[in-house]
Structure formats: C-alpha cells, structure tokens
Structure 1
Amino acid sequence: MFLKNAWYVAAWDHEVTRDLAQITVLERAICVYRTEAGAIVALDDACPHRKLPLSMGRIKGDMVECGYHGLTFDCVGQCVWAPGGRIPSEARVHAYPTHEKYGLVWIWMGNPVLADPEEIFEIENFDNPDWGMNRGAAMELDCNYLLMCDNLLDPTHVAWVHGGSFGQAATKDTPLRVKKTENGVIVHRWMLDVEPAPFYKKVISFKGNCDRLQHYEVRYPSHALIRAVFTPAGTGGPDGPLHPDTFIMDSLNFMTPTTAGKTRYYWFQLRNIRPDDAALSRMMTEDVQHAFEEDRAVLNAVQKGMAEKTSPHIDLPIDAGQLRFRRQLEAMIAEEAMVDAKMQGIS
C-alpha cells in the first residue's frame, strides 16, 4: 500500500517543539519532539513494556520517560533505564531518520541505512530573493493519498471544480501530453491565445489574452510540482521566447498518507513577482485555500463513492498520466516488499 523507502513530510518545522507529540505516517503512530539543541527525534509511539504511547510520558533532558512505569529511552530508541535495575534486551523502540528542509520536517519510514537527505524533493527558486511565497496550514483529507496524486496529474478537472479560479474554457478539451520521467510522471499542455483564468487575472501584469502552460508533475511517492505559466499571447508555446511580463507560479504539494483512507496535505506557492508584497501573498493564500477546499469536498466524496461502488468505475483518455503513475508506484512497492522479504529470510 505504501512505499516505505522514501521521504515524507511529517510536519511544518514550527509544529515540532520540546513538547512530546504524536503524528501518524503510513499508519504508524510516531512520537516526535526536539532535543535541547533543537534536533528532531522521531520514535515509535509505544513503550515496549505495555505499549502506552511515549507521547503520554515526559521529556527528561533529551530522553523520553514512559508515563506508566518510567522506562526511559534515548534519541535512538534504546532504553537506558527500567524499574528493577535490569534493562531487557528487547527494551528499545524504532527511531526514524528526519531532516529539516524548506520549513518542513521530513521523515524516512523505511530502512534507515538508505535515508539520504540529498534525495529530498528539490525545489527551484526556494531561496531566490526575487520570488515571493505564500502558504497555508496543512489540510486533512478523508481520502487515500493516491486520489490526491490523481488530482494533481489532472489539468482537466479545473474546468469544472475550479471554474471561478483556475478554470477557463480551454481547460476543458485542449489535448494533454504525458511524459514518464525517472522519478514520476508529467502531464502538461500549452493553451494558446486564451483568456486568463479568474485567479490569474488578478496577479498578471499584462492585458489581453495569454498563452498558458499547465505543467502537472507528481514524483514518487506523493510529491507534486504544479507550474502555471502565463505570458502574453504569441510569446508562449514549447518554443516561445517568453515575454518579460511572464508570470510563473510554482505550487508545491506534499501528500503524507496517514492511514489508508486519510491524507495530510502540505502546500505552498512560489511566484516570480512582488516577493515582498504581503497583501498579494495573503490574497493568493486565501484564494488557493478556497480552491483546495473545493478539491477536498470532491475527493472526500470520491473516496466514499469508490469504497461503496456497486458497479465498476471507468477510465478516460485524460487519465493516462494518473494510470502510469499508479502502475509504476505499485511496481516499486512490490519490489520493495520482495526485497524486505528476502532480507527477513536471511536474518
């Protein structure tokens, strides 16, 4: 169901403090906190004695004391004290590698030996002072994470779900191009000499029609880059020169599966205009949050509909990117499970 040897977003960096807290990732309850030096610790949230969540205990320096019988665990999950004086060899909990980047806390759910921070999703222009940013709180979705991945490989749905913001007439039937990459799938299209969508009319600096790029890219296991490009009509297209007034917005989207039917969704946008305009950032955040609420209503209902369906669902040609992504991710999960089974057999 899940790819374990991958980086997932565990929290915004400000959400992890010196207080013990429980998060859920890939159906695992995890206790997270910061050490006195500010490093992040992530441990399985269950004392091995009677399985009381460690997050119900207390911090002792950089260690965690179970709130039931006082077993104490260090930052790598090893028990360093137990009542009675003898520490059983089984008195340890799994510790998960973590890394902070882009204001996010990333967690590795698989084999710790394979955890390489260099493999975290690379974000172009994140530290570029010429680019502005807007972001909002993480959203809780009552749907499987793959439904959100489907949504982010689907440029067509904006015509109906986001007609008052991202959608426009050309998004209904302009042909899509699908490209499989080494680490994901891209669905994209240029729409030439079209009216700008309502959301973007408020932020672009030029008048009249535009050439618009929809670049929808999802990388394994569940991270997406949605790039919107708006340039004056006649200056876009695959080989277009791009006008100096071209507007670019990169929407970064990170879906963290919490359970089979629930997802925590982290997002923010980068833009190539007015980096210090706080009012623009607020406006964009509010409008994007409204659009994402439209997505949430649809996807929550799709989750219910697919779970309770009484007849088979169908696929359309516009689903090509989604189906390619799912097939490859399924193969990666199966291969990972096979390797794990062999390793367990060896051990």
Structure 2
Amino acid sequence: MFPTNAWYVACTPDEIDGKPLGRMICGERIVFYRGEGGRVAAVEDFCPHRGAPLSLGYVENGQLVCGYHGLVMGCDGQTVSMPGQRVRGFPCNRSFPVVERYGFIWVWPGDPAQANPSTIHHLEWAESSEWAYGGGLYHINCDYRLMIDNLMDLTHETYVHASSIGQKEIDEAAPRTTVEDDCVVTARHMENIMAPPFWRMALRGNNLADDVPVDRWQICRFTPPSHVLIEVGVAHAGKGGYHADPQYKASSIVVDFITPETETSIWYFWGMARNFKPDDTALTDSIREGQGKIFAEDLDMLERQQQNLLAYPERNLLKLNIDAGGVQSRRIIDRLIAAECAPAAEPVTLIGGGAA
C-alpha cells in the first residue's frame, strides 16, 4: 500500500508537449494534458462512452478529445460535447489536483479536499540560476519501498556500482541515522580516501585535481511520501570536508522522486543538481549519462529482488544497523497509511440533544 493523500511527481512538462499522456499513479489510471491557457489538467484515463483511454486522443482548444468517437471532455472531468449526441446525462470523470512546479508535474491521487500545493517540498536548486539539473525517468518493476531502502542504505554502492561510485571505504564508515518529525536522515562521512571514477570525473569537471586524497560525504534525506534527496560530494582532504570552501570541492544533490504505479512497479524520476559550473551544458550531459548508467545497475537488482520476495512471501528479512534509514522511513509510511485508513470519528449524541 501507499499513501494517497500526498503529492507525487507524475511526469515532466516535455512529456505532455503537444499530446496527452496516460500514466498509472498509485493504481489510478490518469491522463495528463495541457488545458485552456496551457494549464495542466489530470482526469481519469477513461472515456465514459465506451471506456477507451482518453490518452489515445488529442487536445484541441484546451479540451481533451477522445480518439475513438470524438467525445470532448473538460478539465473538470465533465463531458462538454460529442458529435451528434446530447451529453447532459453523461457521468463525470474524476479529476485530480495537479500542479506544475520546479520543472515537474505533481499530482494528488487522494482526497482532493486535502490537497494543498504549499506542502510540496521547496526545491531551492530548481529555482536558482546558480544550480544546474539533469535527470531522467526509469520504469522499474518493484515495490516503491524497495527503492527507498536502496537509497537510504548506500553500502550497496561498493558492490552494485563497483566501477563508478563504489569503494570499500563505504563499508568501513558507519552511517548515522536520525529522525525528526517525518524526515529521516542517514549520513556517512569518509576521510582521506581516493575518489572513485565518477567523482574523479566530477573533480575534473570543476577544474580540481582528481589524483589526490579527498573527504567524501553522503547525506540521505527521506521525506514522505517517497522522496529521497541525497547530498553527495568530495573535497580535497583536509579542507573541511562537507563544509569545505567551494573552490576545493565538487558536490551535488542526487534527486530521487519515487512514484508508485502499482504495488510492485514504480516511476523513478532521477537526477542530479549541482552548484558548480551551472552553465556548462556539456558537463550536465556527461553527469546525466554517468548517473543514468549507475541507476540502470540498480534497476536489474531491484526487479530481481522483487521477484524473489514474491516467490518467497513467507521469508522474513533481516534488519541490520545499515538498514536503519529504510526501516525508519517505512515506519513513517506505515503511520501515514494507517491514518488514512482510520475510520472517521462518529459524532457523540448527548442526552438532551446535540452532538459533540
């Protein structure tokens, strides 16, 4: 299960340029498109006439036209017209709260009365010209919580990503996990080590020597429903590590927005934001390519892991000290789901009339 009263990344703006996009989010089939004035709209991907996917249609004058028999639907889910038909009695489709912000399109699949755009996490790097961002999208057949586990425990880098960002020192540096309200932070710091290949490339990209010892850090932050932002970087050893002056380090934020499709599949929006040489588009492309290959390595592992868990549902998994970040994140998710599933309080009738 997954929380539904939450904002999830549904797609990126380029995915709805010129045509509607059908995507399942938290078990809901939704079509996203640009309505009147270019504003993003999201309604059920279901034509009330014959059940065809509205995402196979097109947008005309800000309205969604079914590609099967020409039914026209408004952004509120109400049928506007249909050739040769009176549509007053047509059932209304469900519409979903949707917001375009920070270079992403966010959807609220739960109770629309609770949807408050101000609760979308502020992403400073998405609004500042001092930062550059490059990313992509993977569809992965796994439970969204497995991806959260993966990102909150980076010891797997030593093994899954041995040729890019992995190194034995990750295993040797114990992580520290803390919880504050609904935020889980797992931090690991490594001192006086040699940078792995990916970070040597990043050092060169920032005009820094890549063949000297560095201090390295990984600070993973989970916030519900399923977002993980990871501060990562290296600095020339002895210059202050995480707090080093920018002239001595290469640092970034790994962006991970995990959107459940079903119980066992996700849309994984990944990327990296950096605050050095933001105008260097070639560097952005190089980092995106390298990071894309790294995350592709996770994809196969997670899908095979999911297959194993489905094949052996009776097996209990171990919880070790390195799993603290994922365990704490799951506790927050479980609490949110329980709150959504809790029955509404019944009004209490008092003697003499009235209710409390």
Partner of 2:293: 290
Matched, 1:262 2:261: no
Query: 1:187-226 residue pairs with structure 2 within 5 A?
Result: 187-204=186-203, 205-206=208-209, 207-226=211-230
TM-score (norm. length: structure 1): 0.90
Supply the AA of the counterpart residue of 1:236. Answer: G
Partner of 1:85: 86
C-alpha distance in structure 2 between counterparts of 1:272 and 1:63, whole Å:
40
Partner of 2:48: 48
Partner of 2:354: none
Q: 1:257 to 1:196 in 2, by over 3 A?
A: same
TM-score (norm. length: structure 2): 0.88
Partner of 1:248: 251
C-alpha distance in structure 1 between counterparts of 2:183 and 2:27, whole Å:
24
Q: What secondary structure is seen at the aligned counterpart in 1 of 2:334?
A: helix
C-alpha distance in structure 2 between counterparts of 1:308 and 1:342, whole Å:
42
8 Å contact kept, 1:43–1:96: yes
Match of 1:314 among 309, 312, 318: 318
Q: Once the 2 structures are TM-superposed, how far is the Cα of residue 285 of structure 1 from its aligned partner?
A: 1.3
Q: Once the 2 structures are TM-superposed, how far is the Cα of residue 120 of structure 1 from its aligned partner?
A: 1.4
Q: Once the 2 structures are TM-superposed, how far is the Cα of residue 316 of structure 1 from its aligned partner?
A: 1.6
Partner of 2:166: 167
Query: 1:264-279 residue pairs with structure 2 within 5 A?
Result: 264-279=267-282
8 Å contact kept, 2:144–2:265: yes
Partner of 1:337: 341
Deviation string for 1:260-307 (max 9, x for gaps)?
111111122111222222222222111111111111111111111111
Deviation string for 1:87-146 (max 9, x for gaps)?
22x7101111111122211111112222222211222333333333322x3111111111
Q: What secondary structure is seen at the aligned counterpart in 1 of 2:37?
A: coil
Query: 1:47-196 residue pairs with structure 2 within 5 A?
Result: 47-66=47-66, 71-81=71-81, 85=86, 87-88=88-89, 91-135=91-135, 137-196=136-195
Supply the AA of the counterpart residue of 2:297. Answer: E
Q: What secondary structure is seen at the aligned counterpart in 1 of 2:300?
A: helix
Q: Once the 2 structures are TM-superposed, how far is the Cα of residue 9 of structure 1 from its aligned partner?
A: 0.9
Q: Once the 2 structures are TM-superposed, how far is the Cα of residue 67 of structure 1 from its aligned partner?
A: 5.1
C-alpha distance in structure 1 between counterparts of 2:247 and 2:193, whole Å:
19
RMSD between aligned residues: 2.3
8 Å contact kept, 2:96–2:108: yes
8 Å contact kept, 1:20–1:32: yes
**Alignment length, in residue pairs?**
340
Q: Once the 2 structures are TM-superposed, how far is the Cα of residue 155 of structure 1 from its aligned partner?
A: 1.8
Q: Which runs of 5+ in 1 are unaligned?
A: none
